[in-house]
Amino acid sequence: MTAPTLADAHNLLARLIATPSVNPGKRFPLESPFGEERVVELLRGLLESWGGDVSVEEVLPGRANVIGRFGGREEHPALMLEAHSDTVSIEGMTIEPFEPRLENGLLYGRGASDVKGTLAAMLLGLKTVLNESRILPVTVYLVSTCDEELGLAGARDFAGRGPDVDAAIVGEPTDLAIIHATKGALRWRLTTKGLAAHSSDPSRGRNAIYFMRRIVEHIEEELIPRLAMKSHPLLGNPAMTVGVIQGGTQVNIVPDFCRIEVDRRVLPGETREAITAEFLEGIGAIAESVGFEFTLEEDQWYPPFEQPAESPVVEFALGACQRVLGESTLATAPWAANSGV
C-alpha cells in the first residue's frame, strides 16, 4: 500500500471540518452544529475500517469518547494518541465554518487548527504505520475525547476507566513544538447577596454591586500582585483575571445580587484546595468587616501538566521531530489542556 499523501491529509481534514462538533456547553437536546456525535461516528467508521477494536463510551448525554485499539506484539508498551473532537463556537466567524477552504496550501474552517488538523495528522500517521507493518511494534490507542473546550469531561472519564498506557501524545496546536509543561486553570463563580429595594429610596436596600466592588478591588490590588511572588522555573508566574460580571435586574431596583467569574491560572505543584483557601481568606475578611453574604462555586478545574525534559517520551518525540523536520523545539505553554488530566 502507498503511504498517505498531502492530498490525503487535506481530504481527511476537510471531512472532519465539514462534520460540525461545536461544544454545546449546557445546551440540550443537541442539534447540529452542537455536539460531537457526528464526528464520533465518522471516526468510528474510519478506525473500524482499518481493523481497530473500537468502542464509543458515552460521557455526557449524547456526547461520547471514541477509542480505537490497535494491538501490537504485546499489550505493553502501549502508546496513546489523543486529540479532542469538539471545537469552540462559530460565533463571529467571517468565513463559512463548515465549508473547508484551501488557500495557498492552508486549509481554513472551524477546528482546522484546534484540533482537527492534529487529529487528521494522528489518523494518517497511524494509517501509515498500519500500511507498513503487519504487526505493530507497540499497542496503539487512538482516542478522541469530547468536551475539551469547556470542562475536560471526556478526558476525565477516559482517565478514570481507560486502558493503562505507557506514553501519550496529546494533540494541540503547538507549531510542531514539543510542549512538556503547561499551566492549569481554576475557575470560580462568586456571588454577593444584597437586598432589593426601589431606587427612589435606596437606603431600604443593600447594594450587592457595591459589595462586589470591594472584592474586585481586593483581587486587583492584593491578590494579583501577590501572584508575582510565586514562580515556576519553566512557566513563570500564575495569573488571575475577573472575566465576567453580572448584577441587578433593572435600573430602578437596588441590586440584590452581583456575580463575577474568576479565572486563576495554576502552576505545577499548586493544589486547588490551597488556591481556593487563599482566595477565600481575604474575601471572607472583607465580607465580615462590611457585613454581607457571598457564595463561591468552583466552575472548572484544569490540572497543570509537567513532564521532565529528560524523560524518555520527550526525548523520543524530539528525536522524531529532528528526523522528520530537520529541527526540534522543546517548549512550554500558558494554557491548559487534556494533558493535565
Average confidence (pLDDT) over 32-50: 96
Q: Considering only the top CATH level, what class is 6-173?
A: alpha beta
The domain 184-302: what is its CATH number? 3.30.70.360
Q: Can 6-173 and 184-302 be said to share one CATH topology?
A: no
The confidence score (pLDDT) of residue 73 equals 82
Average confidence (pLDDT) over 200-222: 98
C-alpha cell at 315: 526525548
Instruction: Using pLDDT thresholds of 50, 70 and 90, give the confidence band for residue 1.
Output: low
Q: What is the pTM of this model?
A: 0.89
What is d(CA 194, CA 207) in angstroms, rounded to the nearest whole number? 5
The confidence score (pLDDT) of residue 98 equals 98
Q: How many CB atoms lie within 10 A of CB 307?
A: 18
Q: What ranges do the domains of the chain cover?
A: 6-173, 184-302
Average confidence (pLDDT) over 109-127: 97
pLDDT tens-digit readout, 287-309: 999 999 999 999 999 999 999 99
pLDDT tens-digit readout, 73-96: 888 999 999 999 999 999 999 999
What is d(CA 175, CA 325) in angstroms, rounded to the nearest whole number? 12
Phi-psi sector, 204: left (phi>0), alpha (psi -120 to 50), beta = alpha
Q: Which residue has the higher pLDDT, 71 or 63?
A: 63
